[in-house]
Chains A and B, each alone.
Chain A
């Protein structure tokens, strides 16, 4: 069974701080997607990384796919209260996505 573990599970920080969320697996994935989910809503795609070692930037968010395509990280620079939410990584496995355990981020003003 493929599993994706995210760490930390919860993160509370002050506005302006930097943070990194990790997504780790013992399995190799063809690609990995990061989603953000608000309470009571569906996951919204942030980015898809495909190539080992790939780095993608989305404004203050930087995503990296590990060289071996088993892990990924999300780094947020100068976090803002609007970044508050549940961040999910998901690895693709043929016809389905395997979701991570999630990181709940709270950014205080």
Chain B
């Protein structure tokens, strides 16, 4: 069964460093998303991406964040200068389309720890 994959599973970085989180969405999907979940809190939407551009982004997704689909398979989230409060699980998701009731499939997540 097709699945969303993410690498690395765990990333430890120093405050102020840049990190790139990688995702391979399900191959025939057209919509891609990043969510994050701070420990003990609910899953929060960061950004959606379609046709090589951002569709929607949340208040969390400020100028320190960017997304890219550098080739036909990868979807990346970059944090330019990490802060302590960026420590969280980051989930990538993809969906085939955005029609009523279409399902988003989630990857296993990358745990980002900022020291």
**Chain A: minimal CB distance from B55 (Å):** 5
**Given the complex of chains A and B, what is the CA–CA distance between A31 and B103 in angstroms?**
10
Contact with A95, one of B44, B56, B103 (Cβ below 8 angstroms): B56
**Given the complex of chains A and B, what is the CA–CA distance between A30 and B99 in angstroms?**
10
Residue pair B105, A45 in contact (C-beta under 8 Å): yes
**Chain B: minimal CB distance from A54 (Å):** 10
Majority secondary structure, B binding face: strand
A82 at the interface (CB under 8 A from B): no
**Chain B: minimal CB distance from A69 (Å):** 11
Chain A 24-53 interface mask (CB, 8 Å, partner B; 1/0): 000000110101000011111100111000
Residue pair B100, A50 in contact (C-beta under 8 Å): yes
The size bracket of the interface on B is 20 to 34
Can you give 20 A-B contacts (C-beta < 8 A)?
A30-B101, A31-B100, A33-B104, A42-B108, A43-B43, A44-B106, A45-B105, A48-B101, A88-B42, A88-B43, A90-B43, A95-B31, A95-B48, A95-B55, A96-B45, A96-B56, A96-B58, A99-B42, A100-B42, A102-B42
Apart from A48-B103, A96-B48, list 11 A-B contacts with CB within 8 A: A30-B100, A41-B109, A42-B108, A45-B105, A48-B101, A50-B101, A88-B42, A94-B56, A99-B35, A99-B44, A102-B42
List B residues at the A interface (Cβ < 8 Å).
4, 31, 33, 35, 42-45, 48, 50, 55-56, 58, 89, 91, 93, 98, 100-101, 103-109, 111
List A residues at the B interface (Cβ < 8 Å).
30-31, 33, 35, 40-45, 48-50, 88, 90, 92, 94-102
Top 5 A-B pairs, shortest CB-CB distance: A42-B106, A50-B101, A95-B56, A96-B45, A95-B48
